[in-house]
Structure 1
Amino acid sequence: MPRFSIIVPVHKVQGYLEECLDSVLGQSYRDLEVIAVDDRSPDGCPEILDAYAARDERVRVLHLAENVGLGRARNAGMPHARGDYLFFLDSDDTLTPGALRALADRLDETGDPDVLVFDYARTYWWGGTRRNVLAHLLATEDVFTAAERPEILDLLMVVWNKVYRRGFVEREGFSFPPGYYEDTPWTFPVLLSAERIAALDRICLYYRQRRRGSILSTTSRRHFDIHEQYARVFRFVDARPALAHWRPFLHAKMGEHCLDVLSKPDRLPPSDRAEFFRRTAEMFRLHRPEGARIPAELRVLEGSYAGYVLRRQAGRAGRELGRRARQVGTATAARAARIRSAPALHRPLDPCLAVYSASSHRGVLGDPAAVYRAARELAPHIRGVWVVADEEQAAGLEPDTEYVLLDSAAYRRVTERATYFVNDVNWPGALVKRPGSVHVHTHQGTPLLYAGADLLDKPGARLGLDVPQMLRRADRWDHSLVANRHSELVWERAFPCHFTSLRSGSPRNDVLVGAGPEQGRAARARLGLPEGDTVVLYAPARRDYRRGGLVERIDPARFAADLGPGHTLVVRLDPSLADGPARGLGLTELHRRGVLVDATDEPCVQDVMLASDVLVTDYASLLFDYANLDRPIVVHADDLGAVAASRGVYFDITAEAPGHVSRSYRELAWLFASGTWRDEEAARLRAAFRERFCEFDDGRAAERVVRTLMLGEPVPEAAPAAGPAARVPSQATGRDALPASS
């Protein structure tokens, strides 16, 4: 008996069917059967299904004699299901890698609930991907009922974002009715009847958004079907007195759903819209629970269609007036800001005021943070103020950190008077550089991938970037901090502006230079990592050849398993991927289950590096910082050609690597299984890499910036390191750690 019976109704999807089936049959979890129901498809789908069944015994095909529609095609497949759980997968959607393993593990963990609800992401024909905006509702460890967590009913009421225990479905006699909105009378009764519901906060399915839309986006009278489907839901509730308390909720849901259909211009022919409204209003009155309070947005159903139309027109007019007012207000505000700034720009600069920002105003981070802390110690008379994007970012600051919100009146006051500006990205274009002000640009690490003007011949990589505007903003730089001569040459070419390179080293790396085992142990304790384990840090870079930037080159669950006992895998995604679908594709779930540690949100990346024994990365600038620790680095560069073509690389990292290079997962796994990752050749490569790329990192970078640029002291620039022996070496902290001299 398989764990999953995946029922796939098929009709006119020959362009998507193979991708759908491959996403199922290619899963690492193989305890499944596929019941493909050919709903009398007139295209090449029947032949495609038969070919898959001929080469994979897990696939069975039912060829229906007539087209019966999506719901009844699912019904046709259910009697043939032998699995513990039913999974209804639409034939133009796909499973994400590792989805079935994650579902199976969650089912085991929760003791086989009646229903398991999981997350999904919409994928668009133009290449975009957007995660379900209500994904946070799935972040629960509990097993519950709908009454205990009614917010679960706010999720999209579809059948394909859940798996259902077959015994529960058969006991309750659930089936799909015919019609457009067949998911509605399935999903509500199932969730209201389930005694045990579990959730999985993981993207297990890609919901394809076709360019021409789904069947529900077509213009047709068949949208009147929604009324009968909700009538079925009410009949179900009426037959079960224990569910009577759900009537007010379902009454409101029905009104919201029907008004949503009516609001879409592509759903109903214009001649049918008044009739649809009247039918909706009739049902709304018929099923209104006694004494129920009607939400304000649904009271329109108590009036006429003419009143609904007038309200819609008024709403559109109001939104248009608001839009115009905002445009006028923005222009007026800009003029007012210029008027207010004019007198201020004639007032003297404040020599004791410095303004800081990092990572697009995300908080006290990176190089600016290191300079800020050094200034507080060495130049306490200089007041430091941070610019943050919003109050949410401000909430994460230390209590004694002075800050202003971007574009606020306080922001304008400090930026009009400050003498020192320290940032690792460009300041907003509206900020005026005053004569006598000192702008220090720290960058965000040593460049491996093209930046600035070098992106002009890489149209994919500069999508959404205005390079000339970027350079105009860079014209405000006075000083560019560099950690090595490679960076110095690159920045002067990529940003052809009038600045002076300061061979200061990277201030944020001061804590790494000379760090010993005690710093590693302290970082592990703070991050909750096992002291005796070998900690492997995996930090992949964003890819420019894929919209959204996410390309999964390594299965982290498999890598963690292959590393074996005594090893802890820590994953840190590029910050630009932190809020997208990347973590929902399994990382969050693996972290919750203790398979690995997700350190993406850890604000101090230096602590993450200090806590680890070895770095696995590809093209992330993190590898240049990590080299200061003199700990092993493995470069996993299995798509270097694609990266070089799409983004551009300043040198071949595989030819000048800081350690061993893998070009396939098999090679990567072997490096760790054999212990080669930490052999003498790895140490030799690392030493040469450090000599070239860490040459100005001597542990005094932040001090040098403050003394030189803020205090005007004649502090010499960092001298190139004479080699590894000229540094204080650090040691790894895990049980597989090598002496620093190895």
Structure 2
Amino acid sequence: MIIAAYNAQDTLVRAVNSALGQQVPVEVLIIDDASSDDTPRVAEGLTRLHDNVRLIVSAENGGPSVARNRGLAEAQGEWIAILDADDAFLPGRLQRMTGVARRHEADLVADNLLFFDWQAQAVAGRALRLADDHVQQVGAADFVGQCMTGRSPFDYGQLKPIFRRRFLHARGLRYPPHLRHGEDFAFVLDWLLAGARFMLMGEGLYLFTQRIGSISSDSSGQSRTILNLQAMRDHTLGLLARPRIRADRALAGLLSKRADAIRDQAIWNRAYPHLRARRPGALLMEMLRDRRSWPMLARHLVRRHRARMLAR
């Protein structure tokens, strides 16, 4: 279990306790990514309370990819789970996921996500409209097709799979160290390109803290992710140079569409702050400046309406 923690003093105990509360043996590796708050002190307290919690301290902030790679090098279990420091597992998550892995001979398994509104302290809906007993295999094209940033109903790049450690080391897989945003997409796609068998469950067992709560409409105040859509787009376009992808026209076409979607999301991100601050004049001016923001506004309003309906 790897928890990359940066300025997570308010959420780290919840995250670690949710990991320790699983019905399978776990080793928890906290990677403090040069926090400037009390995260190291909180983590040290947890190591004193629990023999199976270890702390690794980074001298400088490298971002989630670098921190997780340190954890991947240290992890000893058969399976590796990633838990963000502001998120939490529901009881029984790892037991049910490893059970699916055994039945389907999977190398990675993801569950559904439950959106968590931090300010409301309530579950705000499910990421995917799948039945709890639903299990499906996800291939590379399936995965990329559901990772159209800002367009997909839910971006599969935000899923939190568990990974078989033997496969990881046999293929030498690691997070791209230069990515601080979108690194999960890159990591999972590398697994799929390496031939991994990926199973997706319909049951939601991971509490995913929303950046903006869909119930409260307030910022969680917890996320430390540095948004860098240009780096995400550059990485996506860079994938097109790989021989494996050049040979697959369908997959290359999906990655090109993803790159376009990321570009459009960056355009929308210039307009969205005006919508959130209820500045209609400024919003209209920004949207007139680039008409590609209009479809993004429509998608945003549909998603917000759907989230509110699911939360009822």
TM range (shorter): 0.7 to 0.9
| Distance in 1 of aligned mates of 2:129 and 2:294 | 33
Counterpart in 1 of 2:200? 199
Matches within 5 A, 1:370-409: none
Q: 1:214 aligns with which of 206, 218, 223?
A: 223
Matches within 5 A, 1:551-566: none
Check 1:171–1:131 CA distance in 2 against 1; reply closer, same or farther (3 A cut). farther
Counterpart in 2 of 1:311? 291
1:221-268 CA deviation, whole Å, 9 max, x = no partner?
A: x44322322234334x43555545410011111211221232023789
Counterpart in 2 of 1:224? 230
Check 1:308–1:225 CA distance in 2 against 1; reply closer, same or farther (3 A cut). farther
Check 1:114–1:244 CA distance in 2 against 1; reply closer, same or farther (3 A cut). farther
Check 1:67–1:259 CA distance in 2 against 1; reply closer, same or farther (3 A cut). same
| Distance in 2 of aligned mates of 1:149 and 1:246 | 10
Q: 2:34 aligns with which of 40, 49, 52?
A: 40
Matches within 5 A, 1:502-651: none
| Distance in 1 of aligned mates of 2:17 and 2:6 | 17
- Residues 97 and 110 of structure 2 are in contact (CA less than 8 Å); yes or no, is this contact kept in structure 1? no
Secondary structure of the structure 2 residue equivalent to 1:131: strand
Asked whether 1:72 is paired with 2:70, we answer no
1:319-346 CA deviation, whole Å, 9 max, x = no partner?
A: 9xxxxxxxxxxxxxxxxxxxxxxxxxxx
| Distance in 2 of aligned mates of 1:97 and 1:77 | 23
Matches within 5 A, 1:426-465: none
Check 1:114–1:318 CA distance in 2 against 1; reply closer, same or farther (3 A cut). closer
Check 1:185–1:138 CA distance in 2 against 1; reply closer, same or farther (3 A cut). farther
| Distance in 2 of aligned mates of 1:62 and 1:234 | 35
1:559-609 CA deviation, whole Å, 9 max, x = no partner?
A: xxxxxxxxxxxxxxxxx9xx769xxxxxxxxxxxxxxxxxxxxxxxxxxxx
Check 1:196–1:263 CA distance in 2 against 1; reply closer, same or farther (3 A cut). same
CA deviation after TM superposition for structure 1 residue 51, in Å: 1.6
Counterpart in 2 of 1:179? 179
Asked whether 1:20 is paired with 2:21, we answer no
Secondary structure of the structure 1 residue equivalent to 2:157: coil
TM-score by length of 2: 0.75
| Distance in 1 of aligned mates of 2:224 and 2:239 | 22
Secondary structure of the structure 1 residue equivalent to 2:240: helix
| Distance in 2 of aligned mates of 1:82 and 1:206 | 25
Check 1:179–1:86 CA distance in 2 against 1; reply closer, same or farther (3 A cut). same
| Distance in 1 of aligned mates of 2:74 and 2:8 | 23
| Distance in 2 of aligned mates of 1:56 and 1:71 | 26
Asked whether 1:102 is paired with 2:99, we answer no
| Distance in 1 of aligned mates of 2:132 and 2:27 | 27
TM-score by length of 1: 0.34
AA of the residue aligned to 1:116: V
- Residues 112 and 126 of structure 2 are in contact (CA less than 8 Å); yes or no, is this contact kept in structure 1? yes
- Residues 31 and 71 of structure 2 are in contact (CA less than 8 Å); yes or no, is this contact kept in structure 1? yes
Counterpart in 2 of 1:121? 114
Secondary structure of the structure 1 residue equivalent to 2:270: coil
- Select the structure of larger CA radius of gyration: 1
CA deviation after TM superposition for structure 1 residue 10, in Å: 0.8
CA deviation after TM superposition for structure 1 residue 121, in Å: 1.1
Q: CA RMSD in A?
A: 3.6
- Residues 139 and 199 of structure 1 are in contact (CA less than 8 Å); yes or no, is this contact kept in structure 2? no
| Distance in 2 of aligned mates of 1:50 and 1:228 | 38
Asked whether 1:59 is paired with 2:53, we answer yes
- Residues 79 and 165 of structure 2 are in contact (CA less than 8 Å); yes or no, is this contact kept in structure 1? yes
Check 1:72–1:216 CA distance in 2 against 1; reply closer, same or farther (3 A cut). closer
Gaps (5+ residues) in structure 2? 212-218, 274-285, 300-307
CA deviation after TM superposition for structure 1 residue 31, in Å: 1.6
Check 1:184–1:261 CA distance in 2 against 1; reply closer, same or farther (3 A cut). farther
| Distance in 2 of aligned mates of 1:87 and 1:317 | 35
Counterpart in 2 of 1:10? 5
| Distance in 2 of aligned mates of 1:88 and 1:119 | 14
| Distance in 1 of aligned mates of 2:28 and 2:297 | 51
Check 1:17–1:215 CA distance in 2 against 1; reply closer, same or farther (3 A cut). closer
Check 1:117–1:79 CA distance in 2 against 1; reply closer, same or farther (3 A cut). same
Check 1:150–1:160 CA distance in 2 against 1; reply closer, same or farther (3 A cut). closer
Secondary structure of the structure 2 residue equivalent to 1:14: coil
| Distance in 1 of aligned mates of 2:124 and 2:240 | 33
| Distance in 2 of aligned mates of 1:311 and 1:160 | 31
- Residues 185 and 233 of structure 1 are in contact (CA less than 8 Å); yes or no, is this contact kept in structure 2? no
CA deviation after TM superposition for structure 1 residue 54, in Å: 1.9
AA of the residue aligned to 1:197: F
Q: 1:233 aligns with which of 233, 239, 247?
A: 239
Asked whether 1:253 is paired with 2:255, we answer no
